[in-house]
Structure 1
């Protein structure tokens, strides 16, 4: 599996504007059980700093931009999300940190499961030991 898995969404629309449909098992490779978004972010205050044991996520910057560090314990890469027609698939056991938010950033995540605190690994050393 590749460390970075980007998904390009089909953009529909005309002179009135654009539309992107997100559908489970079509352009989203899992059941969607939770959707959340964050906004009003400060550029200098990174978020994340965790991995999930089982949860799959698709991150989309629907407005503005941000960077995401993806770390599988062997490799680290930083991806810039700045196009609403593109999403980053975050797989289980990928440490991730979001940062460098633009002032207009709206960051949306589609998740394969409902919130479950026991699925989180919030300590980097514990993450490395679990690999």
Structure 2
């Protein structure tokens, strides 16, 4: 598989005076089939989530409500994505260090993953991540 990079994916937006609707599907919007879905909510002020990378898992993150920042590191460079609209999300391929921070009050982060939960897929030490990433 070719090397993928993180990217913002704009989702379809169906406008309706009764309320708008957005969705995502594989393969039209997502570059992977969904194996797991989870959400992050009620994050206390100043807390940071994530702070890890995955060896094999790809993710797609949407701010369903509120806002937060996703900070990604590729082993050499860091880039911040601010998510604050429910009609776009951030695709994060495997082997990118991520931390999620700056959660607004009542924010809701929806995360879909390409794999089932596997504790052995996590890289939780940043220096180990950099060594693994730069060895490729």
TM-score of Structure 1 vs Structure 2, range by shorter chain: over 0.9
Give SS of 2:90's match. strand
TM-score computed with the length of structure 1 as normaliser: 0.95
Contact 1:6 1:88 in 2 (8 A): yes
Secondary structure of the 2:53 match is strand
The number of aligned residues is 131
Question: How far does residue 20 in structure 1 lie from its aligned partner after superposition?
Answer: 1.1
Selected match of 1:39 from 28, 38, 41 = 41
Alignment of 1:1-131 (within 5 A): 3-131=5-133
Label 1:110 to 1:10 Cα distance change in 2 as closer, same or farther (>3 A): same
Contact 1:52 1:93 in 2 (8 A): yes
Conserved 8 A contact 1:3-1:70: no
Output the aligned Cα RMSD.
1.2
Runs (5+) with no aligned partner, structure 1: none
Contact 2:6–2:93 under 8 Å retained in 1? no
Instruction: Please list every run of at least 4 consecutive aligned residues from structure 1 whose deviation after the TM superposition is greater than 2 angstroms.
Output: 1-4
